[in-house]
Copies of this chain bind each other. A is one copy, B any other.
Amino acid sequence: MAKVKALKCRECGKEYPIEPIHVCELCFGPLEVVYDYEEIRKNISREKIEKGPKSLWRYIDLLPVEEPTVGLTAGFTPLRKAENLGAILGLKNLYIKDDSVNHPTLSFKDRVVAVAISKAKEFGFDTVACASTGNLANSVSAHAAQSGMNCYVFIPANLESQKIYGSLVFKPTVVAVEGTYDDVNRLCSEIANELPWAFVNINVRPFYAEGSKTLAFEVVEQLGWRAPDAVVAPAASGSLITKIWKGLKELVKVGLIDSMNTRVYGAQAEGCSPIAKAWKEGRDFIIPVKPNTIAKSIAIGNPADGMYALQVTRESNGDWETATDEEIIEGIKLLAETEGIFTETAGGTTIAVLKKLAQRGAFKPDEVVVVYITGNGYKTMEVLEGHLHHTVRIKPTLADFREKILARVD
């Protein structure tokens, strides 16, 4: 593959061939895909991309896959101007990148999984697996079904029931581990050392993570080939933010945009905010925490890419903010009531953080601000119990309608 040069350790720089490995044998640093941008620059153009498939695969020139075989319809989700929410927050150019309708399993994970499983097939694996807080398990299960591979997904046993059903329906083996996500992840790392399985976010992680770059690519294209002034995204492992930043820089490197001056803001739930806490305390290292939040999909206490996410906010002049459980629910409701978009707890966190940032003047009123909504509200519906208005029950008669509804309106 001419476009991809090697895997390279983010810490010591040692290079490795393109294989299902993820850790440097010298220094234990994480491996990352390195591209030949000069070569890519020759072959890529706005016109070619715009003529490409209506999916993330229009960006195949910047992804580490030769021929996609799974997840052919993932990505290229709507970017919508949020006039109502923007008016409330004093932002004239607020946009929502809405992966709550990503295909097929309603979260941004469909992007990374499409890339990871296509790559796993290229490597010749017949079994895929993952450690997941729910959305990833849904997506791996669905794409494994599509691709006819064996599938094992590992989740914390206390997950929202919607997310468990949303995996089971695709008939993988769902392993409910008694512990936190970090326990699940540790166990999966051990298993990945023993078995010839493609754990999409462990041994295939360098390829998997590249899928998140498409969230940067698509936004720039959808804004008319212009990088936003600021983006706000949730952080769990910290990988998403790191890859959005990598994606923005790549667009400049291959000449699709002339320049980019985007500030990257990170959102975490107060009850699991190891990255935001490090930022506020001026640390460049992460102290793991034990998660205690309703935002289970971003409840990673020991974030693998936390350090790199900190670097991104530093390099981009961004910032970090957190949201309490109560603020997360208010965030879900605010987005629904103003923009008609129903997101899950991760999205509620991001909206709550966007609001706080706007209120403390992080953005100029005219700046183009993009907020990433990464998951769907139907998956965490149980957190809304007791927080919504009630239905009004009536008999099927005009008289009852007048008494119970119209009288109330007047």
Interface residues of A (CB under 8 A from B): 54-55, 72-73, 76-78, 80, 84, 98, 100-106, 141-146, 148, 152, 155, 157, 162, 164-166, 168-171, 173-179, 183-184, 186-187, 190-191, 194, 332-333, 336-342, 376-379, 381, 384, 388-398, 401, 405
User: Are B175 and A394 in contact (CB-based, < 8 A)?
Assistant: yes
Q: Per a CB cutoff under 8 Å, which of B142, B174, B378, B401 touches A191?
A: B401
Most chain B C-beta atoms within 10 Å of own C-beta, residue among A102, A155, A174, A384: A174
Instruction: Classify the interface of chain A: helix, strand, loop or mixed.
Output: mixed
- Answer whether A169 and B332 are a contact pair too, CB < 8 Å, given A191-B401, A338-B145: yes
- Answer whether A398 and B191 are a contact pair too, CB < 8 Å, given A54-B76, A336-B142: yes
- B residues less than 8 Å from A401 (CB atoms): 175, 187, 191
User: Are B103 and A104 in contact (CB-based, < 8 A)?
Assistant: no
Sample 20 A-B pairs with CB under 8 A, ordered by A number. A78-B103, A106-B378, A141-B340, A143-B340, A144-B340, A145-B340, A146-B339, A146-B340, A164-B391, A166-B381, A168-B384, A169-B332, A169-B384, A171-B337, A175-B401, A176-B391, A177-B393, A178-B393, A179-B396, A187-B398
User: Are A178 and B394 in contact (CB-based, < 8 A)?
Assistant: yes
Least distance between A28 CB and chain B CB atoms (Å):
20
Q: How far is the CA of A145 from the CA of B187 in the complex (A)?
A: 44
- B residues less than 8 Å from A390 (CB atoms): 168
Q: How far is the CA of A307 from the CA of B397 in the complex (A)?
A: 27
Nearest residue, chain B, Cβ from A144: B340
- B residues less than 8 Å from A187 (CB atoms): 396-398, 401
Least distance between A279 CB and chain B CB atoms (Å):
29
Q: How many copies does the complex hold?
A: 2
Q: How far is the CA of A310 from the CA of B100 in the complex (A)?
A: 37
User: Are A170 and B342 in contact (CB-based, < 8 A)?
Assistant: yes
- Answer whether A186 and B396 are a contact pair too, CB < 8 Å, given A170-B342, A341-B104, A381-B162: yes
Q: How far is the CA of A171 from the CA of B388 in the complex (A)?
A: 8
User: Are A378 and B98 in contact (CB-based, < 8 A)?
Assistant: no
Q: Per a CB cutoff under 8 Å, which of B98, B145, B166, B396 touches A104?
A: B98
Least distance between A106 CB and chain B CB atoms (Å):
7
Most chain B C-beta atoms within 10 Å of own C-beta, residue among A73, A104, A173: A104
Q: Per a CB cutoff under 8 Å, which of B143, B171, B381 touches A389?
A: B171
Q: How far is the CA of A143 from the CA of B388 in the complex (A)?
A: 18
User: Are B396 and A184 in contact (CB-based, < 8 A)?
Assistant: yes
Q: How far is the CA of A100 from the CA of B77 in the complex (A)?
A: 14
Q: How far is the CA of A170 from the CA of B332 in the complex (A)?
A: 10
Nearest residue, chain B, Cβ from A175: B392
Nearest residue, chain B, Cβ from A143: B340
Q: Per a CB cutoff under 8 Å, which of B54, B72, B174 touches A392?
A: B174
User: Are A165 and B338 in contact (CB-based, < 8 A)?
Assistant: no
- B residues less than 8 Å from A179 (CB atoms): 395-396
Q: How far is the CA of A103 from the CA of B379 in the complex (A)?
A: 16
- Answer whether A378 and B186 are a contact pair too, CB < 8 Å, given A145-B338, A342-B142, A398-B191: no
Extra contacts, 12 of them, besides A145-B338, A378-B378 (Cβ < 8 A), are A73-B78, A104-B342, A145-B336, A145-B340, A168-B388, A169-B342, A173-B392, A175-B391, A175-B405, A178-B394, A187-B397, A378-B379
- Answer whether A169 and B106 are a contact pair too, CB < 8 Å, given A145-B340, A157-B393, A340-B143: no
User: Are A80 and B84 in contact (CB-based, < 8 A)?
Assistant: no
Q: How far is the CA of A144 from the CA of B341 in the complex (A)?
A: 11
- B residues less than 8 Å from A143 (CB atoms): 340
User: Are B73 and A333 in contact (CB-based, < 8 A)?
Assistant: no
Q: How far is the CA of A148 from the CA of B391 in the complex (A)?
A: 20
Least distance between A224 CB and chain B CB atoms (Å):
13
Most chain B C-beta atoms within 10 Å of own C-beta, residue among A144, A148, A342: A342
